[in-house]
A and B are shown apart, each in its own frame.
Chain A
Amino acid sequence: MEVDNEGETEMASLELEDDDDLTLEQVLEMMEVAWLNEKFAPEILPHKREIVELLLGQITYLEERLQQLPSTDFKKGIHQMEIDRLRYLLTSYLRLRLEKIETFHKQILLEEEKRADENEALYLSPKELEFAQEFEQDLEAHLAANMNFCPNWQESTATERIVQPNLNSMVFLKAKKDVEGIAIDDGKAESSDLIDLASGSQVLINYNNVASLVKNGDVHLI
């Protein structure tokens, strides 16, 4: 019992960074939500830059702390495992985003341009945007190298080559607070039903109807 208590307090002190308002637990919770949303949403979501940076900082900090522990300490293994889990969460999140960026790069770049024109917040981080632009250039160069024998192939297929996510795919979600009056649009213009979500309820729903709720954080995907 005594050993247990000692272990717990030490773990708690390891996890808390002094100069920050958020505990690791809170950061982790936000990261998990962001990760799940990104994983299940068909389209790319706004980049959670603050959370990613916080978690990265935490990982570095924890790793430094871990270096100081003697290698014979049995807690070292447990903490190492914890750090590995954090790192997996983070890399997986960024990988999911990259995959979406690559698949829908044209669509995403067009939307980002529109957002930039209207002075809205961009969904991609600057580095991701750079990546997307270079990816597009390389792809176009590769296709051009193989297709340039054929006159105006680029213009005639420009719209056909835009890959778009299926925004009408079904997603499971959980409501974080009461949301009222979600219009269920089943494709027919005149018949739109309204539904209310109670906090904590789980539903299977068309993504298109709840996209804005996912982005503002009232619901999260599971």
Chain B
Amino acid sequence: MFGEKAGNLIKELSRCENVLPPYNTDMVKEVCAEIKQLDDLNRSNGAIVANESGLAVNSNPLYPTLRIGVTALKRNVRCLIAYHHNRLRILRTMRWEFGSVLPADIKVNMSSEEVEWFCQYSRNLAKYMRSIGEDGLNLGLDLRPPKSLYIEVRCLVDYGKFELSDGTVLLLKKDSRHYLPRTECEELITKGIFQHIL
């Protein structure tokens, strides 16, 4: 049935909310092939309908076939656009969650065009953030309203030395617990080095 593959593509994406499924190259290729096939079909049918000028256009027996072909083509194109567009929206959310460097397990699911788009987006965003105020404002920080000044965190990896803004140097070891100012550790939490203990 026409349009089925494109529909499956969308379904696959909507099943994984906030997770990026692998870029389905095969399916996308199949949908593209279907679009091309439909396009050819519509062109030849259209030519026949136009040539049989004796009949009114919409009483031609081929007319319903042509209409279905055109609708299916449109639907396929639209699904394909939606697939690509919504994948970008997921990536965009991830830019805010993980920062400009994505974890490797997400990168393997991206197509090369998506990697490029992500770099562009990051660059654009960084440019915007630098332009706020006199020396820029990092919108990637302060993502949640501050509840308390200090939070308790557990270090998940052997990170090594970490200098606080007041000059104190901490040695961060795996599974060590720290009680630190929230502003200092926010970045390390998003990077996955710290875990916030509630």
Contact = CB atoms under 8 A, between A and B. Distances in A.
Interface of A: 52-53, 56, 60, 71, 77, 80-81, 84-85, 87-88, 90-92, 94-95, 98, 102, 127-128, 130-131, 134-135, 138-139, 141-143, 145-147, 149-151, 153, 156-157, 160-161
Main secondary structure of the interface of A (DSSP, over half): helix
Given A127-B131, A147-B77, A142 B88 contact: yes
15 contacts: A80-B149, A84-B149, A85-B146, A94-B132, A127-B131, A127-B132, A128-B128, A135-B124, A138-B124, A139-B85, A142-B84, A142-B117, A146-B28, A156-B74, A157-B78
A18 B97 CA distance: 39
Contacts, number: 103
Interface residues of B, number: 43
A76 to B, nearest CB: 10
Give the residue among A81, A142, A151 with the most B Cβ atoms within 10 A: A142
Interface string B2-40: 000000000000000000000000001000100110010
Interface stretch (B47-55, B61-69, B133-141): B133-141
B166 interface: yes
A68 B149 CA distance: 19
Give the residue among B36, B80, B127, B132 with the most A Cβ atoms within 10 A: B132
Given A127-B131, A147-B81, A138 B121 contact: yes
Main secondary structure of the interface of B (DSSP, over half): helix
Contact of B124 (A94, A131, A149, A161): A131
A2 to B, nearest CB: 26
A135 B36 contact: no
A84 B74 CA distance: 50
A66 B54 CA distance: 88
Contacts of A80: 149, 181
Contacts of A56: 132-134, 137
Interface of B: 28, 32, 35-36, 39, 74, 77-78, 80-81, 84-85, 88, 92, 113-114, 116-117, 120-121, 124-125, 127-128, 131-134, 137-139, 141-146, 148-149, 166, 181-183
A131 B132 CA distance: 12
Contacts of A160: 78
Nearest to A82: B146
Smallest CB-CB A-B distances: 4 pairs: A84-B146, A56-B133, A88-B142, A127-B131
Given A94-B137, A98-B125, A160-B78, 10 more contacts: A84-B183, A94-B139, A135-B124, A138-B117, A141-B117, A142-B88, A143-B84, A146-B28, A149-B35, A161-B81
